[in-house]
Amino acid sequence: MTSNKTVAVYGAYGHTGRFVVSELRRRGWTPILSGRDAGKLQVFGTENPGLELRPASVDEPASLDRALAGAAAVINCAGPFASTSAPLIEAAMRARIPYLDVAAEIEANIDTFNLFADRAREAGIVVVHAMAFYGGLGDLLATAAMGDWTYADEISIAYGLDSWRPTPGTLIAGQVSKQRRDGRRVVFADGKIAYTTEAAPATEWTFPAPLGKQPVIAEFTMADTVTISRHIKAPRIHSYMTAVAVRDLTDPNPQAPVASDESGQSPQTFVLEVLARRGGEERRAIARGRDIYAFTAPLVVEAMARVVAGQVKGAGVFTAGEAFDARDFLASLSPANLSVELR
């Protein structure tokens, strides 16, 4: 446990970063505002007087060291994470402080686990990766649904979004991932991540209220597939995304999120359902909430607070489900208007 209440936020002026800064301040933490664009950082600083501004480039390790100096932890909100995760983790290891990010890029997720699991453990720091709506929440729900099960025959993740207006960061990250995939799609087959050129199948999924039966795109693999497969034994992980959300995401002229109130949140709502099957038994975990980008802020800030408080045992790279008591963590998010149901 530390009395240090300062947290470096890299990409603080971005869409999700702004929510993270606001959540930190609401909970009594002092954000250090950092990022690559000094101009955007200065503008954001005028909106948050009294907070320290520390511009830093991922290409300049010394600038990252200055950005993290004296912080209790760093939260990386700057995509594409294929470019930012490794330099920030390196800086966190030099500073000997915890690193958390909100990465949802599957290839970047895999890279972080492969490249830094041993190195972070040796450095004695905690890295909690993909601590966002995609990657974090689904992993927590799957872990909570599993309960005392040590394995499942299959896990299904159904993303019930009533819309998906992507941020500029989401679109850029998607372009980076698309280039790395070279026209292929990511799937989970035979217990591992794989790639295919076949079209994703369209089907239906019956969500809990208020969505009900919806057209969905199957094999819509997101970061949760990576995080869940890291620590839950399941040879099959299926994923489904509402077709309306896919249309929004792939629109040639995509619309950015629009705030519907003074908090900055959009009116987007979500129902995320995770179903674990073993033999003839089924276990479900269901979460209902609003605005996947805004919701990421209380998720990653709660994780940071628990890490800094010493609630994660050991060191290395962790997923949300590995690092925390999933049911307790989910219950703590009720002030963020997350409703969770276990069946």
pLDDT digit string (tens) for 114-131?
A: 999 999 999 999 999 999
* Short-list 265, 242, 236, 267, CA closest to 22: 265
Residues in the chain: 343
Decide whether 6-133+296-325 matches 137-292+333-342 in CATH topology: no
What is the percent of the chain where pLDDT is above 70? 100
- What is the pLDDT at residue 1? 57
pLDDT band at 179 (very low <50, low <70, confident <90, very high): very high
Strand 99-101 to strand 73-76: parallel, antiparallel, or no bridges (unpaired)?
A: parallel
Distance from C-alpha of 309 to C-alpha of 131, rounded to nearest angstrom: 17
| pLDDT of residue 67 exceeding 90 | yes
Distance from C-alpha of 123 to C-alpha of 92, rounded to nearest angstrom: 10
| pLDDT of residue 334 exceeding 70 | yes
Distances (CA, A) of 160 to 51, 110, 164, 205: 37, 25, 10, 9
- What is the pLDDT at residue 290? 97
- Alpha carbon 79 to its chain centroid, in Å, reads 12
Task: Pick 84 or 189 by higher pLDDT.
Answer: 84
- What is the pLDDT at residue 3? 87
> CATH for 137-292+333-342?
3.30.360
Q: What is the DSSP letter of 79?
A: S
Q: Are 107 and 80 in contact (CB under 8 A)?
A: no
pLDDT digit string (tens) for 89-113?
A: 999 999 999 999 999 999 999 999 9
Q: Are 219 and 200 in contact (CB under 8 A)?
A: yes
Q: 6-133+296-325: what CATH class?
A: alpha beta
The mean pLDDT value for 332-341 works out to 95
- What is the pLDDT at residue 230? 96
pLDDT digit string (tens) for 258-275?
A: 999 999 999 999 999 999
pLDDT digit string (tens) for 119-173?
A: 999 999 999 999 999 999 999 999 999 999 999 999 999 999 999 999 999 999 9
pLDDT digit string (tens) for 238-249?
A: 999 999 999 999
pLDDT digit string (tens) for 10-34?
A: 999 999 999 999 999 999 999 999 9
- What is the pLDDT at residue 87? 98
The mean pLDDT value for 184-205 works out to 94
Distance from C-alpha of 297 to C-alpha of 11, rounded to nearest angstrom: 13
| pLDDT of residue 38 exceeding 90 | yes
pLDDT band at 190 (very low <50, low <70, confident <90, very high): confident
Distance from C-alpha of 105 to C-alpha of 222, rounded to nearest angstrom: 8
Which 3 state secondary structure label does DSSP give 97? Answer: coil
- What is the pLDDT at residue 189? 85
Burial of 114 (0-12, 13-18, 19+ CB in 10 A): exposed
Q: What stretch of H or E contains 256?
A: none
- What is the pLDDT at residue 2? 73
Residue identified by tokens 């600038």 is 63
pLDDT digit string (tens) for 273-308?
A: 999 999 999 999 999 999 999 999 999 999 999 999
Q: Are 26 and 303 in contact (CB under 8 A)?
A: no
Kindly list the domain boundaries of the chain, sorted by start residue: 6-133+296-325, 137-292+333-342
